[in-house]
Amino acid sequence: MSQPFPPPTEVIPHRQPFLFLDEVTGVEPGLWAEGFWRTTGEEAFFAGHFPGRPTLPGVLMAEALAQLGAYVVLLDDRFAGKLPLFGGLEGVRFRRQVTPGERLDLRVDVLRLGRRAGKARGKASVEGVAACEAELMFVAVPA
C-alpha cells in the first residue's frame, strides 16, 4: 500500500470521543500495522484518573491497539462490510505509566486471520519503552 495511508476515520468506525488512533504510519493489510495516538492532556479521563497524577488508563492502551488491529483487518478485502469486535485479551501487561502529552506508538502483528475471527499481538510504547503488550482476539460480524 502506498503512503499516505487512509486516515483512521476512513477505515474504522470509531469516532471522538472514543477514537484512540491519530495516524497510521505503516500497514500491510491483513498482516501488520503501525501508528500512534498522541495524548493531549485535555482528554476527560485524565481529570479523574488520577487527580494530581494523571495517568492513561491501561484499558485505553489496549483499546488503541484494538483500533489499530481493526484498521489492519478492515483493509483486508476478506473483511469488506464487516465490523471486527473484541473477542478477548490474553497476556496483557502494563509496563510503563503514560502521562498527558505523550505519544503512544502502536504496532499490531496479525497472528491468525480466519474468515470470521482472528488473533493479533500488539505493543504500545513511548519513546521506545514498552507501555502495554497484549494478544487481541476478534470476531467479525456484518457491519
Active-site positions?
A: 49
In the chain the first and final C-alpha atoms are separated, in Å, by 24
Residue identified by cell 507501555 is 131
- Decide: helix, strand or coil at residue 61: helix
User: At a CB cut-off of 8 Å and minimum separation 6, what does 10 contact?
Assistant: none
CB environment 71-102: b (16+ within 10 A), e (fewer): bbbbbbeebeebbbeeeeeeebebebebeeeb
How many angstroms separate the CA atoms of 35 and 40, rounded? 16
